[in-house]
Structure 1
Amino acid sequence: MNWSERPWRSVLYIPASKARALEKARGLPVDAIIFDLEDAVAPEEKAAARETLAAALSEGGYGARARLVRVNGLDTEWGQADLDAAAAMDCDAILLPKVGGAADLDRVAARVPGAALWAMMETPEGILNAQEIAGHGAMTGFVLGTNDLAKELQARFRPDRLPLMQALQTCLLAARAAGIPCVDGVYNAFKDDAGLRAECEQGRDLGMDGKTLIHPAQVAIANEVFGPSEADIALAERHIAAFDEAAAKGEGVAVVDGRIVENLHVATARALLARRDAIRALEGA
């Protein structure tokens, strides 16, 4: 899987213990699913959840959606069994909670060699070590765990997320430097469409690839906000056409709507059209 070129607009958490939710997820228009063995599963259900999830993934039916399995930490009584089980499942990556540094990834990679790993970025230590985590050879993506991070920071929840902004941008910088996806944290009020849209727009404007979601009702807004709009596509096509026309005349820049269009704008436009095509391919798969 080419992690950096596929869409990550909507990444939905699904409890691995809920057979009905696992079935419903097969028909949801999400770009990726996090099958959760950690927070969404009660301690007494952990072992059974592994079996339920393994059976669901073996049965298939999830199409082109990326399938991530979030395990419990190795410092818990369920972590090692989760890792062993996830390594044998038909999934695309293993999502690790509370990653603090490269040493955590070394331990996991030694137990499940060759597995693609994602990291929950949700602790102060992890944020401070974001660059080394992103650069680890097995690391293929970041998920922001904003609820846990806010708890650890003793930060207040604010609509503008100002207390979390440095952490969000630090993780995004590290992910971009390493060429891996970075997916924003969840929005807890799943019935608040306006609040969800505002937080998705903030994450999109920062540069996040998409949004983790806790309810299917949030999917449509995330897909809309993190996908290119018709206006975005039209402008990108105009930028490319104008620049190509200028280049044919031996000129290095073009002008569209009174603004200079240079190589960097054309590269951005082509990337946007490539994302549109990737979304179309995923939705048509």
Structure 2
Amino acid sequence: MTTSTTTRRVATTDGLELAVTEYAGPQDAPMIVCVHGYPDNQSVWAPVATRLSRRFRVVTYDVRGCGDSDAPADRRGYRIPQLNADLAAVMDAVSPDRSVHLLAHDWGSIQTWAAVSGNIPAARIASYTSISGPDLDQAGVWLRGLATHGLAGARKRLKQLAESYYVFLFQAPGLPEAAWRSGLLEKLLAREVRGVESVPERRERDTINGIELYRANILGRLGRPTPRRVTVPVQVIAPTRDVYVSPAMATEAPVPYVDDLTVVEVDARHWVVLRQPDRIAELVAGFVTAHGGERGGVTGA
């Protein structure tokens, strides 16, 4: 399954350039902008984007430091406000006069939660689908519920903390870089995509640069969480066998803060966008259509 694409470069507010790809789709259709996670680049979206482009305009881009996009000179360039400024620059370039629908996975979701909770005007965003990536402020509050949600609630939170060991490992100077270069972390991740027909290439540049996302953002936001209300319609897709983001945190943490929340659990692992592109395309198409999409679901996906 293939579709034609066009590429361009979009300037950021701090002088970098991002590599942006638009999939050929109906020009009058709603636009979906996809934001990838770590340690991926925009190619991770190809199976889903190809299916969605039958009915919608679809745009993907390499987050700064990844793929063919430029990398910032230091850690400050990876902070979430700047990532959101990058997203806004892409949106302004590809859809200056119409709102867009956002679709994000993993670190793409983490950064985009901040966008939909006020870093980008809500009028620019028609809907948001988040997969396997929490809002760090919402997660910080949720994790603090160890002592207030009974034994079952405590178990869920302790399980998530155990599964997030790598988040704290990534704070150690030099250690994660050495683990990537030795091939150890790549072997661990390979288990998560075993059986997938076509796994996008992971470049060492992407994996090393992306570690700065964790160092620039995690501890500050989890340590001093300040969740904000989200008025954009949100769909959370939660893989039930995700070993990095527990279904409990993914589905429970947003509840107090999102005005219009839809939760869908999918029997899948973390990289559901690669394992089940038909299902993801179907869910996204339905949500986009329900929130301003003039066209129907993805037929034949």
Tell whether the structures are fold-level matches, with TM greater than 0.5.
Answer: no
Larger RCO: 1 or 2 (CA < 8 Å, sep 6+): 2
What TM-score do the two structures reach when normalised by structure 1?
0.34
- Higher Cα radius of gyration: 1
